[in-house]
Amino acid sequence: MDLEDDTTILTTLKSFNSFISRPEHPQRLSEHSAGSGILQSQYKRSMELLEAAERVHSKNRYLQLDQEKKQMELSHKRARFELERAASDSARDLEHEVDRNQELLGQIKKLEERAEEVNKKLTEQKEANDALQKNLEGLNKTLEERDDKLGTANQTIRSLKDEIRELRQKIQNQDSKMSAQTLENQELQEKIDLQQRKYQEVSQLCQSLQAAQSSCSDHIIKIKELERRLVFQEQDFAIVKTVKSEVARVPDLEKELKRLRDDNAYLRESRENCSLLKEEVEGLRKKLERMEKTKEELINMELEKEVKVWARSQSELRAELTQQHSKTLEEQKKREAQDALVRRLQKRVLLLTKERDGMRAILESYDSELAPTEYSPQLSKRLREAEDILLKTQSHNAEMEVCLQACINILFFFALLNSVCACIFFLRQKIEDLERERQRLEEQNNILEMRLERHNLQGDYDPVKTRVLHLKMNPTAIAKQERQQEVEALRQEVTRLRDLVRSLQSGGAVGHSQDDTHNPSFSLSLAPSKEVLDLRKQMESSELRNQRLKEVFQRKIQEFRTVCYVLTGYQIDITTENQYRLTSVYAEHMDDSLLFKKGSNGSMQLMETEFSKTLGEMVALHLHHQKSIPAFLSAVTLDLFSRQTTV
């Protein structure tokens, strides 16, 4: 029994151990079973020893424990059962809850999605709104810009008009200036012509002057030649004279010899002729003096004549030339006369000298032959004095002649030179002045020509001679027209946009549909963004859907109502909130109707009407007694129907 108890105890111990160790270490069982064989035997032995001591103590305990265990187990079982039941219930509940949870989660998700969608739609709507507002602002800005542009265009147009006016005025001014300039030009050209003619005349004068000068020089040369010839002639004359004299001397000498011899013979005969000789000498002296005077007078007269002649000739150049000739001729004549005179005088002088010499010789011979007396030295002295005087007069004569010649020449040449120089000077000055004017005019002409060329380069023209033409339909005119049209179109568009914007700003908050209905062109003139377009489409589609739904509902409701009316025989109208008016199909009068009101608790109550007053019995029966509204209504219908058919 103990062994059995031991075994049972052991088994229970094992089971207990296993029970203890199962939830914590289910794996250790196997280890215990394998490696703990030896230990178990030892343990068994110890335990057996221990158990032998504790058997008695523990038996009760074990039995108690068993009982308790059994009770515990029973209670456990019950608890477990109940727990299981509870667990199953709770599981079921859990499942339910889980399902519900899931449903709720699903709903939540859906709601969240919807919320997101709605949010998105909201944001999109907001964005659309913002975009639309931005568009509006942009439109406003563009409108303002276009206004500004129009303003500036107007200003430019005004300024251009002013410019056009100014340009026209400038053109007029320039035209007038041009005409004035052309006139000036003509005048200048005329002046130039005049000056050219003058220049030609002056050049002709110059040429004539030059010819005159050349002729003058020729004349001067001729005069010089004549002078030289005169000089040569004089020299020739002198030579001829000397030769002639020499030639003439010989016979004279011979004659004189003869004469002297005769005279000698005669003089020898008479010494008393000395006084006669004296007287003759005195007579000779007087003659000489007279000759001098006459010569001087002649000379003076001739000088005066010539001076007068020169004075007359100084006024004219041409007359001077002829006068020159005449003068030269006169001079020549005078000179010839003078020469003749001189020759005569010289001849006379020679004769006299010869006479003197002869006399001297005679006297000398006398002196030599005779003794020196008182008379001969006096005679000789007087002779010598006479000779000296003769010589002096001769020299004086010669000097006078030379001076005369020189004076004549000098006067002549001075006069000529003066006149010629004066003329030349005067003409030269004229030429210089004309040259200067010519140069000035040439410079002016050049400047004017340059100016004309410049103007020509720039495109100016002489309206008297040229015309500027162009086609009426030229590209610039066409382009300007097109531009005008564009500007007009822009202006019109701007005014239209302004009106649109104003209308938008005033009725913008109400809704886009209004805009679409009022201004169908709104979407055309703007550049709508894609989002706005999509939103609009969505809106339109939703509105359409709404419309259709409304229509459908209306139709359905109408159908239903008619069906109700037909089937039940009553037309039910909702007059006010919770009040229903029923009109029967068989009503005798139009306004025979029943009025029902829905109470706060949901029940229908009949209201007092004219018609309902006539149905007091039925009301009492069906409503108060039977508490059935359908019965009442059908009773009323039957009643009315019966009345109708009978009537």
| Residues in touch with other proteins (CB under 8 A) | 156, 160, 163, 171, 456-461, 463-480, 483
User: By C-beta, is 91 or 171 nearer to other proteins?
Assistant: 171
Closest separation between CB of residue 527 and other proteins, Å? 24
CB nearer other proteins, residue 270 or residue 476: 476
Closer residue to other proteins, CB minimum distance, 173 or 558: 173
Smallest separation, CB 464 to other proteins (Å): 7
Residues in the chain: 647
Q: Cβ 132 to other proteins, closest distance in Å?
A: 35
Q: Dihedral angle at the C-alpha atoms of 401, 403, 404, 406, nearest 10 degrees?
A: 120
Least distance CB 484 / other proteins (angstroms): 10
Q: Which is nearer to other proteins, 68 or 482 (CB)?
A: 482
Minimum CB separation of residue 156 from other proteins in Å reads 8
Q: Which is nearer to other proteins, 150 or 288 (CB)?
A: 150
CB count, 10 Å around CB of 441? 17
602: left (phi over 0), alpha (psi -120 to 50) or beta: left
Helical residues (DSSP H) of 314-374, grouped into ranges = 317-369
**Which H/E stretch holds residue 572?**
strand 570-574
- Which residues make Cβ contacts (< 8 Å) with residue 528, sequence separation at least 6? 135, 536
Exposure b/e, 454-473, CB count within 10 A at least 16 = b: eeeeeeeeeeeeeeeeeeee
3-class secondary-structure state, position 205: helix
Minimum CB distance to other proteins smaller for 64 or for 173: 173
State which residue, 156 or 542, has the beta carbon closest to other proteins: 156
625 in Cβ contact with 573 (< 8 Å): no
Q: Residue 164 or residue 239: which is nearer to other proteins going by CB?
A: 164
Cβ(592)–Cβ(583) below 8 Å: yes
Q: What is the dihedral of CA 200, 206, 208, 210, to 10 degrees?
A: -150
**Closest to other proteins by CB, 372 or 475:** 475
CB of 456 to other proteins, least distance (A): 8
**CB within 8 A of 353, min separation 6: which ones?**
387, 390
Whether residue 317 contacts residue 419, with contact meaning beta carbons closer than 8 Å, is answered with yes
- In angstroms, what is the minimal distance from the CB of 121 to other proteins? 48
Of 318 and 465, which has the nearer Cβ to other proteins?
Answer: 465
What is the rounded CA–CA span in Å between residue 260 and residue 623?
A: 232
Angle ∠(596,601,602) on CA atoms, nearest 5:
45
DSSP string, 171-187: HHHHHHHHHHHHHHHHH
Task: For the CB of residue 455, give the shortest distance to other proteins in the complex, in Å.
Answer: 9
Report whether 21 contacts 30 (CB < 8 A).
no
Nearer to other proteins, 81 or 461 (CB): 461
* Min separation Cβ 496 and other proteins, Å: 24
Considering the complex, state which of residue 270 and residue 458 has its C-beta at the smaller distance from other proteins: 458
**Measured from the CB of residue 442, what is the shortest distance to other proteins in angstroms?**
24
Q: How far is residue 490 CA from its own chain's centroid?
A: 28
**Could you tell me the smallest distance in angstroms from the CB atom of residue 168 to other proteins?**
9
* Amino acid in the structure at residue 438: R
Tokens of 338: 């003078």
- Residue 452 beta carbon to other proteins: minimum distance, rounded to whole angstroms: 13
Q: What are phi and psi of 581, to 5 degrees?
A: -105, 130
Distance CA 647, CA 587 (A): 12
Q: Least CB distance from residue 457 to other proteins, whole Å?
A: 6
In the numeric block, which tokens belong to residue 253?
A: 């000498």
* C-alpha torsion 375→380→384→387, nearest 10: 100
| Nearest-10 Cα torsion for 411, 414, 416, 422 | -140
Per-position b or e across 302-328, b if 16+ CB within 10 A of its CB: beeebeeebeebeeebeebbebbeebb
**Closer of 368 and 476 to other proteins (Cβ):** 476
Shortest distance, CB of residue 158 to other proteins, whole angstroms? Answer: 13
Cα gap 230→332, rounded to integer Å: 9
CB of 467 or CB of 589, closer to other proteins = 467
**Dihedrals phi, psi of 529, to nearest 5 degrees:** -80, 165
User: Toward other proteins, which CB reaches closer, 171 or 533?
Assistant: 171
Q: Give the integer Cα–Cα distance in Å for 43 and 357.
A: 230
The overall longest dimension of the chain from CA atoms, in Å, is: 267
Q: Which two tokens stand for residue 489?
A: 């179109």
- Contact, 526 vs 534, CB < 8 A? no
